[in-house]
Structure 1
Amino acid sequence: MKSGRAIVLLGLYSMFSALVLLVVGFVTRDLQAQLNEKLAGSGGDSEFATQAAEQMHRGVLGFLANNDAAMMEALAQVPIVVLIVFKISLFFLPAYIALMGFDQVSGEVGPRSMRYLTVRARRSSVLLGKFLSQATLLVGLVLIIDLAIFIYARIINDDFAFGVLVLNLLKFWSATVVFSLAYVALTTLCSSLFRVPAVSLVFNFILLFIFWLMDSVGRAVSDENVLRFLRYLSPSYYSGNLLHPKLAEFAMSGAAYAAFAAIFLFGAYGVLRARDL
Protein backbone atom coordinates (compact mmCIF):
# COMPACT_ATOMS: atom_id res chain seq x y z
CA MET A 1 0.00 0.00 0.00
CA LYS A 2 2.83 2.41 0.84
CA SER A 3 4.57 1.77 -2.47
CA GLY A 4 1.55 2.89 -4.46
CA ARG A 5 1.38 -0.43 -6.29
CA ALA A 6 -2.19 -0.95 -5.12
CA ILE A 7 -3.31 2.22 -6.92
CA VAL A 8 -1.50 1.17 -10.11
CA LEU A 9 -2.98 -2.32 -9.97
CA LEU A 10 -6.44 -0.94 -9.30
CA GLY A 11 -6.06 1.39 -12.28
CA LEU A 12 -4.91 -1.46 -14.52
CA TYR A 13 -7.78 -3.70 -13.43
CA SER A 14 -10.26 -0.84 -13.85
CA MET A 15 -9.05 0.05 -17.35
CA PHE A 16 -9.32 -3.53 -18.55
CA SER A 17 -12.78 -3.97 -17.04
CA ALA A 18 -13.93 -0.67 -18.54
CA LEU A 19 -12.62 -1.74 -21.94
CA VAL A 20 -14.54 -5.00 -21.72
CA LEU A 21 -17.68 -3.14 -20.68
CA LEU A 22 -17.35 -0.78 -23.66
CA VAL A 23 -16.90 -3.66 -26.10
CA VAL A 24 -19.80 -5.60 -24.61
CA GLY A 25 -21.95 -2.46 -24.66
CA PHE A 26 -21.14 -1.88 -28.33
CA VAL A 27 -22.03 -5.46 -29.24
CA THR A 28 -25.23 -5.27 -27.20
CA ARG A 29 -26.31 -2.07 -28.94
CA ASP A 30 -25.55 -3.66 -32.31
CA LEU A 31 -27.69 -6.69 -31.45
CA GLN A 32 -30.47 -4.41 -30.22
CA ALA A 33 -30.35 -2.51 -33.51
CA GLN A 34 -30.70 -5.78 -35.43
CA LEU A 35 -33.61 -6.76 -33.21
CA ASN A 36 -35.29 -3.42 -33.89
CA GLU A 37 -34.87 -3.99 -37.63
CA LYS A 38 -36.55 -7.38 -37.32
CA LEU A 39 -39.31 -5.79 -35.28
CA ALA A 40 -39.84 -3.14 -37.95
CA GLY A 41 -39.97 -5.85 -40.60
CA SER A 42 -42.60 -7.76 -38.65
CA GLY A 43 -44.87 -4.75 -38.44
CA GLY A 44 -44.06 -3.83 -34.86
CA ASP A 45 -45.34 -7.03 -33.27
CA SER A 46 -44.42 -6.71 -29.57
CA GLU A 47 -44.87 -10.43 -28.93
CA PHE A 48 -42.37 -11.22 -31.68
CA ALA A 49 -39.89 -8.75 -30.19
CA THR A 50 -40.27 -10.29 -26.73
CA GLN A 51 -39.74 -13.81 -28.04
CA ALA A 52 -36.71 -12.74 -30.07
CA ALA A 53 -35.16 -10.97 -27.07
CA GLU A 54 -35.74 -13.96 -24.81
CA GLN A 55 -34.31 -16.33 -27.41
CA MET A 56 -31.20 -14.20 -27.81
CA HIS A 57 -30.77 -13.90 -24.04
CA ARG A 58 -31.11 -17.64 -23.49
CA GLY A 59 -28.68 -18.36 -26.32
CA VAL A 60 -25.98 -16.16 -24.83
CA LEU A 61 -26.73 -17.42 -21.32
CA GLY A 62 -26.54 -21.04 -22.49
CA PHE A 63 -23.14 -20.39 -24.08
CA LEU A 64 -21.77 -18.74 -20.93
CA ALA A 65 -23.25 -21.40 -18.61
CA ASN A 66 -22.22 -24.37 -20.81
CA ASN A 67 -25.92 -25.12 -21.37
CA ASP A 68 -26.29 -26.24 -17.76
CA ALA A 69 -30.00 -25.93 -16.98
CA ALA A 70 -29.48 -25.31 -13.26
CA MET A 71 -26.92 -22.58 -13.86
CA MET A 72 -29.04 -20.96 -16.57
CA GLU A 73 -31.98 -20.78 -14.21
CA ALA A 74 -29.85 -19.40 -11.36
CA LEU A 75 -28.24 -16.74 -13.56
CA ALA A 76 -31.33 -15.81 -15.54
CA GLN A 77 -31.81 -12.56 -13.60
CA VAL A 78 -28.18 -11.46 -13.94
CA PRO A 79 -27.49 -9.06 -16.84
CA ILE A 80 -25.51 -10.61 -19.66
CA VAL A 81 -22.87 -7.88 -19.42
CA VAL A 82 -21.95 -9.08 -15.91
CA LEU A 83 -21.58 -12.69 -17.05
CA ILE A 84 -19.42 -11.75 -20.03
CA VAL A 85 -17.10 -9.58 -17.95
CA PHE A 86 -16.84 -12.37 -15.36
CA LYS A 87 -15.89 -14.95 -17.99
CA ILE A 88 -13.29 -12.68 -19.57
CA SER A 89 -11.92 -11.73 -16.15
CA LEU A 90 -11.22 -15.37 -15.34
CA PHE A 91 -9.10 -15.53 -18.49
CA PHE A 92 -6.89 -12.51 -17.74
CA LEU A 93 -6.81 -12.71 -13.91
CA PRO A 94 -3.92 -15.25 -13.75
CA ALA A 95 -1.69 -12.91 -15.78
CA TYR A 96 -2.83 -9.96 -13.65
CA ILE A 97 -1.96 -11.89 -10.48
CA ALA A 98 1.47 -12.70 -11.91
CA LEU A 99 2.11 -9.01 -12.55
CA MET A 100 0.91 -8.20 -9.05
CA GLY A 101 3.23 -10.49 -7.11
CA PHE A 102 6.06 -11.78 -9.27
CA ASP A 103 8.62 -10.17 -6.92
CA GLN A 104 6.98 -10.97 -3.59
CA VAL A 105 9.73 -13.47 -2.67
CA SER A 106 12.42 -12.99 -5.34
CA GLY A 107 12.40 -9.27 -4.55
CA GLU A 108 13.68 -10.20 -1.07
CA VAL A 109 15.91 -13.11 -2.06
CA GLY A 110 17.75 -11.28 -4.86
CA PRO A 111 19.17 -8.41 -2.76
CA ARG A 112 19.46 -10.84 0.19
CA SER A 113 17.18 -8.79 2.41
CA MET A 114 15.32 -12.04 3.13
CA ARG A 115 18.01 -13.01 5.66
CA TYR A 116 17.00 -10.07 7.88
CA LEU A 117 13.37 -11.22 7.85
CA THR A 118 14.23 -14.82 8.69
CA VAL A 119 16.22 -13.68 11.73
CA ARG A 120 12.97 -12.67 13.43
CA ALA A 121 10.54 -15.11 11.77
CA ARG A 122 10.55 -18.60 10.34
CA ARG A 123 10.78 -19.01 6.58
CA SER A 124 7.33 -20.56 6.52
CA SER A 125 5.90 -17.51 8.31
CA VAL A 126 7.56 -15.11 5.86
CA LEU A 127 6.29 -17.12 2.89
CA LEU A 128 2.75 -17.32 4.27
CA GLY A 129 2.80 -13.60 5.05
CA LYS A 130 3.82 -12.81 1.48
CA PHE A 131 1.03 -15.03 0.15
CA LEU A 132 -1.63 -13.61 2.46
CA SER A 133 -0.64 -10.00 1.79
CA GLN A 134 -1.05 -10.45 -1.97
CA ALA A 135 -4.26 -12.44 -1.48
CA THR A 136 -5.72 -9.73 0.78
CA LEU A 137 -4.87 -6.99 -1.70
CA LEU A 138 -6.38 -9.00 -4.54
CA VAL A 139 -9.58 -9.68 -2.59
CA GLY A 140 -10.02 -5.95 -2.00
CA LEU A 141 -9.34 -5.00 -5.63
CA VAL A 142 -11.73 -7.64 -6.95
CA LEU A 143 -14.47 -6.46 -4.59
CA ILE A 144 -14.08 -2.83 -5.75
CA ILE A 145 -14.20 -3.75 -9.44
CA ASP A 146 -17.09 -6.22 -9.03
CA LEU A 147 -19.06 -3.61 -7.10
CA ALA A 148 -18.50 -1.06 -9.88
CA ILE A 149 -19.57 -3.57 -12.55
CA PHE A 150 -22.77 -4.48 -10.70
CA ILE A 151 -23.63 -0.83 -10.10
CA TYR A 152 -23.13 -0.17 -13.83
CA ALA A 153 -25.36 -3.16 -14.63
CA ARG A 154 -28.01 -1.82 -12.24
CA ILE A 155 -27.93 1.60 -13.93
CA ILE A 156 -28.47 0.21 -17.44
CA ASN A 157 -30.96 -2.48 -16.33
CA ASP A 158 -33.91 -1.15 -14.35
CA ASP A 159 -35.27 -4.66 -13.75
CA PHE A 160 -32.08 -5.73 -11.94
CA ALA A 161 -33.46 -5.75 -8.39
CA PHE A 162 -31.31 -4.61 -5.47
CA GLY A 163 -31.71 -7.88 -3.57
CA VAL A 164 -30.66 -9.91 -6.61
CA LEU A 165 -27.73 -7.52 -7.12
CA VAL A 166 -26.39 -7.99 -3.58
CA LEU A 167 -26.81 -11.77 -3.63
CA ASN A 168 -25.08 -12.20 -6.98
CA LEU A 169 -22.35 -9.69 -6.11
CA LEU A 170 -21.36 -11.88 -3.16
CA LYS A 171 -21.60 -15.00 -5.32
CA PHE A 172 -19.46 -13.61 -8.16
CA TRP A 173 -16.94 -12.10 -5.74
CA SER A 174 -16.60 -15.39 -3.84
CA ALA A 175 -16.17 -17.34 -7.08
CA THR A 176 -13.43 -14.97 -8.26
CA VAL A 177 -11.62 -15.17 -4.91
CA VAL A 178 -11.69 -18.99 -4.90
CA PHE A 179 -10.40 -19.01 -8.48
CA SER A 180 -7.65 -16.48 -7.76
CA LEU A 181 -6.12 -18.02 -4.64
CA ALA A 182 -4.62 -20.94 -6.56
CA TYR A 183 -2.93 -18.54 -8.98
CA VAL A 184 -1.65 -16.39 -6.11
CA ALA A 185 -0.02 -19.54 -4.72
CA LEU A 186 1.41 -20.29 -8.18
CA THR A 187 2.92 -16.79 -8.27
CA THR A 188 4.42 -17.39 -4.83
CA LEU A 189 6.00 -20.61 -6.10
CA CYS A 190 7.43 -18.95 -9.23
CA SER A 191 8.75 -16.06 -7.17
CA SER A 192 10.48 -18.50 -4.81
CA LEU A 193 12.28 -20.37 -7.59
CA PHE A 194 14.48 -17.53 -8.84
CA ARG A 195 16.49 -14.67 -7.41
CA VAL A 196 15.72 -12.30 -10.30
CA PRO A 197 12.10 -11.01 -10.31
CA ALA A 198 12.00 -10.66 -14.10
CA VAL A 199 12.88 -14.33 -14.51
CA SER A 200 10.13 -15.24 -12.03
CA LEU A 201 7.61 -13.27 -14.09
CA VAL A 202 8.63 -14.89 -17.39
CA PHE A 203 8.53 -18.38 -15.86
CA ASN A 204 5.13 -17.61 -14.37
CA PHE A 205 3.78 -16.64 -17.79
CA ILE A 206 5.25 -19.83 -19.27
CA LEU A 207 3.44 -21.95 -16.69
CA LEU A 208 0.18 -20.08 -17.33
CA PHE A 209 0.52 -20.80 -21.04
CA ILE A 210 1.22 -24.49 -20.33
CA PHE A 211 -1.85 -24.73 -18.09
CA TRP A 212 -3.99 -23.02 -20.74
CA LEU A 213 -2.63 -25.37 -23.41
CA MET A 214 -3.36 -28.43 -21.28
CA ASP A 215 -6.93 -27.29 -20.69
CA SER A 216 -7.50 -26.45 -24.37
CA VAL A 217 -6.06 -29.73 -25.67
CA GLY A 218 -7.94 -31.75 -23.05
CA ARG A 219 -11.23 -30.18 -24.05
CA ALA A 220 -10.60 -30.41 -27.80
CA VAL A 221 -9.81 -34.12 -28.08
CA SER A 222 -12.42 -36.86 -28.04
CA ASP A 223 -13.34 -38.79 -24.90
CA GLU A 224 -11.48 -41.84 -26.22
CA ASN A 225 -8.20 -39.95 -26.45
CA VAL A 226 -5.88 -40.26 -23.45
CA LEU A 227 -4.94 -36.60 -23.82
CA ARG A 228 -8.34 -35.66 -22.39
CA PHE A 229 -6.91 -36.21 -18.90
CA LEU A 230 -4.61 -33.21 -19.37
CA ARG A 231 -7.50 -30.85 -18.62
CA TYR A 232 -7.78 -32.21 -15.08
CA LEU A 233 -4.23 -31.00 -14.39
CA SER A 234 -5.08 -27.39 -15.28
CA PRO A 235 -6.65 -25.09 -12.66
CA SER A 236 -8.72 -23.24 -15.26
CA TYR A 237 -10.68 -26.41 -16.08
CA TYR A 238 -12.52 -26.24 -12.75
CA SER A 239 -13.81 -22.67 -13.17
CA GLY A 240 -17.01 -23.76 -14.91
CA ASN A 241 -18.90 -24.64 -11.72
CA LEU A 242 -17.82 -21.75 -9.51
CA LEU A 243 -21.25 -20.15 -10.02
CA HIS A 244 -23.20 -23.40 -9.88
CA PRO A 245 -26.27 -23.24 -7.59
CA LYS A 246 -25.74 -26.81 -6.36
CA LEU A 247 -23.43 -26.89 -3.36
CA ALA A 248 -21.81 -30.18 -4.38
CA GLU A 249 -20.75 -28.82 -7.78
CA PHE A 250 -19.35 -25.62 -6.27
CA ALA A 251 -17.60 -27.54 -3.47
CA MET A 252 -15.88 -29.79 -6.00
CA SER A 253 -14.47 -26.80 -7.86
CA GLY A 254 -13.53 -25.09 -4.60
CA ALA A 255 -11.76 -28.21 -3.38
CA ALA A 256 -9.80 -28.45 -6.64
CA TYR A 257 -8.57 -24.86 -6.31
CA ALA A 258 -7.71 -25.41 -2.64
CA ALA A 259 -5.67 -28.47 -3.63
CA PHE A 260 -3.80 -26.54 -6.32
CA ALA A 261 -3.09 -23.72 -3.86
CA ALA A 262 -1.77 -26.18 -1.26
CA ILE A 263 0.47 -27.92 -3.80
CA PHE A 264 1.95 -24.64 -5.02
CA LEU A 265 2.48 -23.32 -1.49
CA PHE A 266 4.14 -26.51 -0.29
CA GLY A 267 6.37 -26.39 -3.35
CA ALA A 268 7.30 -22.78 -2.59
CA TYR A 269 8.05 -23.67 1.02
CA GLY A 270 10.26 -26.58 -0.06
CA VAL A 271 12.24 -24.30 -2.39
CA LEU A 272 12.59 -21.52 0.19
CA ARG A 273 13.60 -23.97 2.92
CA ALA A 274 16.38 -25.47 0.79
CA ARG A 275 17.62 -22.14 -0.58
CA ASP A 276 20.74 -20.46 0.77
CA LEU A 277 19.59 -17.00 1.82
Structure 2
Amino acid sequence: MRNSARFPHTLDGLKETLVIWSAELRRAVRSGRAVVLLGLYSMFSALVLLVVGWIAGQVREAVNKQLETAGANADASAQVAEEMRKGMLGFLTSNDTAMMEALAQVPLEVLLVFKITLFFLPAYVALMGFDQISGEVGPRSMRYLTVRARRSSVLLGKFLSQATLLLGLVLIIDLAIFIYARIANPDFGFGHVVLNLLKFWLAAIVFSLSYVSLTTLCSSLFRSPAVSLVFNFIALFVFWLMDTIGQASGETGALRFLKYLSPSHYAGDLLHPKLAEFGASGAAYAGFATLFLLGAYAVLRARDL
Protein backbone atom coordinates (compact mmCIF):
# COMPACT_ATOMS: atom_id res chain seq x y z
CA MET A 1 0.00 0.00 0.00
CA ARG A 2 2.83 2.40 0.78
CA ASN A 3 4.52 1.81 -2.59
CA SER A 4 1.24 2.27 -4.44
CA ALA A 5 0.65 5.51 -2.55
CA ARG A 6 4.08 6.85 -3.41
CA PHE A 7 3.98 5.91 -7.09
CA PRO A 8 1.47 8.62 -8.13
CA HIS A 9 3.62 11.22 -6.38
CA THR A 10 6.62 10.03 -8.39
CA LEU A 11 4.62 10.37 -11.62
CA ASP A 12 3.46 13.84 -10.60
CA GLY A 13 7.05 14.88 -9.94
CA LEU A 14 8.15 13.53 -13.31
CA LYS A 15 5.35 15.40 -15.09
CA GLU A 16 6.24 18.62 -13.29
CA THR A 17 9.89 18.22 -14.26
CA LEU A 18 9.03 17.61 -17.91
CA VAL A 19 6.70 20.61 -18.05
CA ILE A 20 9.30 22.93 -16.53
CA TRP A 21 12.04 21.47 -18.75
CA SER A 22 9.94 22.04 -21.87
CA ALA A 23 8.93 25.59 -20.92
CA GLU A 24 12.46 26.62 -19.91
CA LEU A 25 13.96 25.11 -23.06
CA ARG A 26 11.50 26.94 -25.31
CA ARG A 27 12.23 30.18 -23.53
CA ALA A 28 15.98 29.66 -23.82
CA VAL A 29 15.81 28.84 -27.53
CA ARG A 30 13.65 31.87 -28.28
CA SER A 31 15.82 34.24 -26.29
CA GLY A 32 18.73 36.09 -27.80
CA ARG A 33 21.12 34.45 -25.35
CA ALA A 34 21.06 31.14 -27.22
CA VAL A 35 22.09 32.89 -30.44
CA VAL A 36 24.80 34.87 -28.66
CA LEU A 37 26.16 31.77 -26.94
CA LEU A 38 26.19 29.83 -30.21
CA GLY A 39 28.00 32.69 -31.92
CA LEU A 40 30.50 33.01 -29.08
CA TYR A 41 31.24 29.29 -28.98
CA SER A 42 31.46 29.00 -32.78
CA MET A 43 33.78 32.01 -33.11
CA PHE A 44 36.06 30.71 -30.38
CA SER A 45 36.16 27.21 -31.90
CA ALA A 46 36.76 28.61 -35.38
CA LEU A 47 39.57 30.83 -34.08
CA VAL A 48 41.24 27.91 -32.32
CA LEU A 49 40.83 25.73 -35.41
CA LEU A 50 42.33 28.37 -37.71
CA VAL A 51 45.25 29.08 -35.37
CA VAL A 52 45.99 25.38 -34.87
CA GLY A 53 45.71 24.73 -38.61
CA TRP A 54 48.00 27.66 -39.41
CA ILE A 55 50.65 26.54 -36.90
CA ALA A 56 50.49 22.96 -38.18
CA GLY A 57 50.88 24.20 -41.74
CA GLN A 58 53.87 26.37 -40.84
CA VAL A 59 55.56 23.45 -39.07
CA ARG A 60 54.98 21.13 -42.02
CA GLU A 61 56.30 23.74 -44.44
CA ALA A 62 59.44 24.34 -42.37
CA VAL A 63 60.12 20.60 -42.06
CA ASN A 64 59.62 20.07 -45.80
CA LYS A 65 62.05 22.87 -46.62
CA GLN A 66 64.69 21.38 -44.36
CA LEU A 67 64.21 17.96 -45.92
CA GLU A 68 64.43 19.42 -49.42
CA THR A 69 67.63 21.22 -48.46
CA ALA A 70 69.02 17.94 -47.16
CA GLY A 71 68.04 16.21 -50.42
CA ALA A 72 65.45 13.88 -48.90
CA ASN A 73 62.93 12.26 -51.23
CA ALA A 74 59.12 12.27 -50.92
CA ASP A 75 59.03 8.99 -49.01
CA ALA A 76 61.42 10.33 -46.40
CA SER A 77 59.34 13.49 -46.05
CA ALA A 78 56.19 11.45 -45.57
CA GLN A 79 57.92 9.27 -42.98
CA VAL A 80 59.12 12.29 -41.01
CA ALA A 81 55.63 13.83 -41.12
CA GLU A 82 54.12 10.59 -39.84
CA GLU A 83 56.64 10.39 -37.00
CA MET A 84 55.85 13.96 -36.03
CA ARG A 85 52.16 13.16 -36.06
CA LYS A 86 52.66 10.10 -33.87
CA GLY A 87 54.75 12.13 -31.44
CA MET A 88 52.07 14.81 -31.14
CA LEU A 89 49.33 12.19 -30.82
CA GLY A 90 51.32 10.45 -28.09
CA PHE A 91 51.67 13.76 -26.24
CA LEU A 92 47.92 14.45 -26.42
CA THR A 93 47.00 10.94 -25.27
CA SER A 94 49.74 10.54 -22.63
CA ASN A 95 51.29 7.83 -24.84
CA ASP A 96 48.34 5.51 -24.28
CA THR A 97 48.70 2.89 -27.03
CA ALA A 98 45.01 2.00 -27.17
CA MET A 99 43.97 5.66 -27.51
CA MET A 100 46.63 6.32 -30.13
CA GLU A 101 45.32 3.44 -32.23
CA ALA A 102 41.69 4.51 -31.77
CA LEU A 103 42.44 8.12 -32.76
CA ALA A 104 44.90 7.31 -35.53
CA GLN A 105 42.47 8.40 -38.27
CA VAL A 106 41.43 11.65 -36.57
CA PRO A 107 43.21 14.79 -37.84
CA LEU A 108 45.38 16.36 -35.17
CA GLU A 109 43.62 19.69 -35.67
CA VAL A 110 40.35 18.15 -34.45
CA LEU A 111 41.96 16.61 -31.38
CA LEU A 112 43.77 19.83 -30.48
CA VAL A 113 40.60 21.91 -30.85
CA PHE A 114 38.72 19.38 -28.71
CA LYS A 115 41.34 19.54 -25.96
CA ILE A 116 41.44 23.34 -25.94
CA THR A 117 37.68 23.85 -26.08
CA LEU A 118 37.22 21.26 -23.34
CA PHE A 119 39.44 23.38 -21.11
CA PHE A 120 37.26 26.47 -21.64
CA LEU A 121 33.91 24.65 -21.75
CA PRO A 122 33.25 24.99 -17.97
CA ALA A 123 33.49 28.78 -18.26
CA TYR A 124 31.10 28.66 -21.21
CA VAL A 125 28.68 26.57 -19.13
CA ALA A 126 28.87 29.13 -16.32
CA LEU A 127 28.03 31.97 -18.70
CA MET A 128 25.12 30.00 -20.08
CA GLY A 129 23.35 29.10 -16.84
CA PHE A 130 24.58 31.29 -13.99
CA ASP A 131 21.10 32.77 -13.47
CA GLN A 132 18.99 29.63 -13.90
CA ILE A 133 18.06 29.64 -10.19
CA SER A 134 19.26 33.01 -8.86
CA GLY A 135 17.43 34.75 -11.70
CA GLU A 136 14.19 33.46 -10.19
CA VAL A 137 15.13 33.68 -6.50
CA GLY A 138 16.32 37.30 -6.65
CA PRO A 139 13.06 38.88 -7.87
CA ARG A 140 11.13 36.22 -5.87
CA SER A 141 9.37 34.87 -8.95
CA MET A 142 10.49 31.40 -7.81
CA ARG A 143 7.62 31.36 -5.29
CA TYR A 144 5.08 31.24 -8.11
CA LEU A 145 6.78 28.15 -9.54
CA THR A 146 7.06 26.36 -6.20
CA VAL A 147 3.36 26.92 -5.52
CA ARG A 148 2.54 24.79 -8.57
CA ALA A 149 5.47 22.36 -8.50
CA ARG A 150 7.90 20.75 -6.10
CA ARG A 151 11.21 22.46 -5.56
CA SER A 152 12.98 19.31 -6.75
CA SER A 153 10.94 19.39 -9.99
CA VAL A 154 11.83 23.05 -10.55
CA LEU A 155 15.52 22.33 -9.94
CA LEU A 156 15.65 19.29 -12.24
CA GLY A 157 13.58 20.98 -14.94
CA LYS A 158 15.90 23.98 -15.08
CA PHE A 159 18.99 21.76 -14.95
CA LEU A 160 17.72 19.60 -17.82
CA SER A 161 16.81 22.60 -19.96
CA GLN A 162 20.32 24.04 -19.60
CA ALA A 163 21.88 20.64 -20.28
CA THR A 164 19.73 20.08 -23.38
CA LEU A 165 20.57 23.52 -24.78
CA LEU A 166 24.27 22.99 -24.15
CA LEU A 167 24.33 19.57 -25.80
CA GLY A 168 22.57 20.96 -28.85
CA LEU A 169 25.06 23.82 -29.17
CA VAL A 170 28.02 21.48 -28.72
CA LEU A 171 26.65 19.12 -31.37
CA ILE A 172 26.32 21.98 -33.86
CA ILE A 173 29.91 23.10 -33.27
CA ASP A 174 31.33 19.57 -33.34
CA LEU A 175 29.49 18.86 -36.58
CA ALA A 176 30.96 21.99 -38.17
CA ILE A 177 34.48 21.06 -37.01
CA PHE A 178 34.24 17.54 -38.40
CA ILE A 179 32.84 18.79 -41.71
CA TYR A 180 35.82 21.14 -41.97
CA ALA A 181 38.17 18.28 -41.09
CA ARG A 182 36.59 16.09 -43.78
CA ILE A 183 37.05 18.80 -46.43
CA ALA A 184 40.62 19.63 -45.37
CA ASN A 185 41.67 15.96 -45.04
CA PRO A 186 40.38 13.79 -47.90
CA ASP A 187 41.79 10.67 -46.21
CA PHE A 188 39.43 11.24 -43.28
CA GLY A 189 36.67 8.93 -44.53
CA PHE A 190 32.94 9.41 -43.96
CA GLY A 191 32.70 6.39 -41.69
CA HIS A 192 35.47 7.70 -39.44
CA VAL A 193 33.84 11.15 -39.44
CA VAL A 194 30.51 9.80 -38.17
CA LEU A 195 32.05 7.43 -35.62
CA ASN A 196 34.41 10.01 -34.14
CA LEU A 197 31.79 12.76 -34.18
CA LEU A 198 29.57 10.62 -31.96
CA LYS A 199 32.55 9.69 -29.77
CA PHE A 200 33.69 13.29 -29.29
CA TRP A 201 30.13 14.48 -28.68
CA LEU A 202 29.54 11.76 -26.08
CA ALA A 203 32.77 12.77 -24.33
CA ALA A 204 31.60 16.40 -24.27
CA ILE A 205 28.22 15.28 -22.86
CA VAL A 206 29.79 13.34 -19.99
CA PHE A 207 32.25 16.13 -19.28
CA SER A 208 29.83 19.06 -19.39
CA LEU A 209 26.94 17.65 -17.34
CA SER A 210 28.95 17.80 -14.12
CA TYR A 211 29.75 21.46 -14.79
CA VAL A 212 26.11 22.21 -15.56
CA SER A 213 25.36 20.73 -12.13
CA LEU A 214 28.08 22.89 -10.57
CA THR A 215 26.53 25.97 -12.20
CA THR A 216 23.13 24.94 -10.82
CA LEU A 217 24.64 24.69 -7.34
CA CYS A 218 26.36 28.08 -7.61
CA SER A 219 23.17 29.66 -8.95
CA SER A 220 21.14 28.29 -6.04
CA LEU A 221 23.52 29.67 -3.39
CA PHE A 222 22.88 33.36 -4.03
CA ARG A 223 20.00 35.66 -4.89
CA SER A 224 22.11 37.82 -7.19
CA PRO A 225 22.98 36.33 -10.61
CA ALA A 226 26.16 38.41 -10.75
CA VAL A 227 27.38 36.99 -7.45
CA SER A 228 26.49 33.48 -8.65
CA LEU A 229 28.59 33.99 -11.78
CA VAL A 230 31.61 35.30 -9.86
CA PHE A 231 31.40 32.45 -7.34
CA ASN A 232 31.11 29.96 -10.21
CA PHE A 233 34.32 31.24 -11.78
CA ILE A 234 36.04 31.10 -8.38
CA ALA A 235 34.93 27.46 -7.98
CA LEU A 236 36.26 26.63 -11.47
CA PHE A 237 39.60 28.23 -10.63
CA VAL A 238 39.83 26.31 -7.35
CA PHE A 239 39.13 23.01 -9.11
CA TRP A 240 41.74 23.82 -11.77
CA LEU A 241 44.26 24.75 -9.07
CA MET A 242 43.61 21.51 -7.18
CA ASP A 243 44.19 19.47 -10.33
CA THR A 244 47.36 21.41 -11.19
CA ILE A 245 48.84 21.04 -7.71
CA GLY A 246 47.93 17.36 -7.59
CA GLN A 247 49.52 16.71 -10.97
CA ALA A 248 52.65 18.65 -10.01
CA SER A 249 53.02 16.59 -6.81
CA GLY A 250 53.59 13.46 -8.88
CA GLU A 251 52.73 9.98 -7.67
CA THR A 252 54.37 10.26 -4.27
CA GLY A 253 53.75 13.89 -3.31
CA ALA A 254 51.78 14.77 -0.19
CA LEU A 255 49.22 16.76 -2.20
CA ARG A 256 48.71 14.27 -5.01
CA PHE A 257 45.23 13.42 -3.69
CA LEU A 258 43.97 16.91 -4.62
CA LYS A 259 43.74 16.04 -8.30
CA TYR A 260 41.17 13.34 -7.56
CA LEU A 261 38.85 15.99 -6.09
CA SER A 262 38.77 17.96 -9.34
CA PRO A 263 36.41 17.00 -12.19
CA SER A 264 38.93 18.02 -14.85
CA HIS A 265 41.32 15.28 -13.71
CA TYR A 266 39.08 12.60 -15.23
CA ALA A 267 38.84 14.12 -18.72
CA GLY A 268 41.83 12.19 -20.07
CA ASP A 269 39.98 8.90 -20.58
CA LEU A 270 36.75 10.26 -22.08
CA LEU A 271 37.97 9.25 -25.55
CA HIS A 272 39.42 5.93 -24.41
CA PRO A 273 38.30 2.96 -26.55
CA LYS A 274 38.25 0.57 -23.57
CA LEU A 275 34.95 0.51 -21.73
CA ALA A 276 36.58 0.15 -18.29
CA GLU A 277 38.63 3.36 -18.63
CA PHE A 278 35.79 5.33 -20.18
CA GLY A 279 33.35 3.95 -17.60
CA ALA A 280 35.59 5.01 -14.73
CA SER A 281 35.74 8.58 -16.03
CA GLY A 282 32.01 8.57 -16.72
CA ALA A 283 31.28 7.31 -13.20
CA ALA A 284 33.47 10.06 -11.72
CA TYR A 285 31.62 12.76 -13.65
CA ALA A 286 28.26 11.22 -12.74
CA GLY A 287 29.34 11.29 -9.09
CA PHE A 288 30.30 14.97 -9.29
CA ALA A 289 27.03 15.82 -11.05
CA THR A 290 24.99 13.99 -8.41
CA LEU A 291 26.89 15.63 -5.57
CA PHE A 292 26.42 19.13 -7.00
CA LEU A 293 22.72 18.57 -7.68
CA LEU A 294 22.12 17.23 -4.19
CA GLY A 295 23.85 20.29 -2.78
CA ALA A 296 21.70 22.57 -4.94
CA TYR A 297 18.54 20.79 -3.80
CA ALA A 298 19.58 21.07 -0.13
CA VAL A 299 20.14 24.82 -0.53
CA LEU A 300 16.89 25.36 -2.44
CA ARG A 301 14.90 23.31 0.03
CA ALA A 302 16.20 25.31 2.99
CA ARG A 303 15.91 28.70 1.30
CA ASP A 304 13.09 31.10 2.09
CA LEU A 305 11.56 31.85 -1.28
TM-score strictly above 0.5: yes
Rounded to whole Å, the distance in 1 between the matches of 2:250 and 2:60 is: 37
Unaligned runs of 5+ in 2: 1-28
1:143-222 matches, cutoff 5 A? 143-222=171-250
Distance 1:98 1:13 in 2: 13
C-alpha separation in 2, matches of 1:144 and 1:81: 18
In structure 2, the residue matched to 1:79 is 107
Identify the residue that residue 52 of structure 1 maps to in structure 2.
80
In the aligned structure 1, how far is the partner of 2:190 from the partner of 2:258? 42
Question: Residues of 2 paired with 1:144 and 1:273: CA distance?
Answer: 36
Aligned to 1:67: 95
Question: Deviating runs (4+, > 3 A) in structure 1?
Answer: none
Whichever residue aligns with residue 32 of structure 1, its letter is: R
Question: CA–CA distance in 1 between the matches of 2:252 and 2:72?
Answer: 51
The residue that corresponds to 1:255 in the other structure is: 283
The reply to whether residue 117 of structure 1 matches residue 145 of structure 2 is yes
CA distance in 1, matches of 2:302, 2:98: 48
**Alignment pair present for 1:138 and 2:178:** no
The SS at the match of 1:226 is: coil
- Name the structure 1 match of 2:271: 243
**Whole-Å separation in 2 of the counterparts to 1:60 and 1:273:** 49
Give, in whole Å, the separation in 2 of the partners of 1:28 and 1:95.
27
Distance (Å, rounded) in 2 between the aligned partners of 1:144 and 1:170:
12
Once the two structures are overlaid, the 10-residue window that deviates more, 226-235 or 28-37, is 28-37
**Aligned alpha-carbon RMSD (Å):** 0.7
**Are 2:259 and 1:231 aligned?**
yes
Measured after TM superposition, the shift of residue 237 of structure 1 is 0.1
Measure how far apart 1:44 and its partner are: 4.4
In the TM superposition, residue 38 of structure 1 has moved relative to its aligned partner by 2.0
Relative to the length of structure 1, the TM-score reads 0.99
Counterparts of 2:88 and 2:110 in 1: how far apart (Å)? 12
Which residue number in structure 1 is paired with residue 12 of structure 2?
none
Residue 134 of structure 2 corresponds to 106
Unaligned runs of 5+ in 1: none
Moved more, 164-173 or 219-228: 219-228
Q: TM-score, normalised by structure 2?
A: 0.90
How many residues align? The count is 277
CA displacement 1:166-207 (0-9 Å, x = unmatched)? 000000000001000000000000000000000000000000
SS at match of 1:243: coil
- What is the distance in 1 between the residues matched to 2:117 and 2:92? 13
Report how far residue 42 of structure 1 moved. 2.8
| 3-state SS in 1 of match to 2:251 | coil
Question: Cα offset for 1:4?
Answer: 1.7
Counterpart code for 1:253: S
The structure number with the bigger radius of gyration is 2
Instruction: Give the 3-state SS of the residue equivalent to 2:299 in structure 1.
Output: helix
- Structure 1: distance between partners of 2:108 and 2:134: 41
Give the AA of the match of 1:164: H
Residue number in structure 2 paired with 1:14: 42
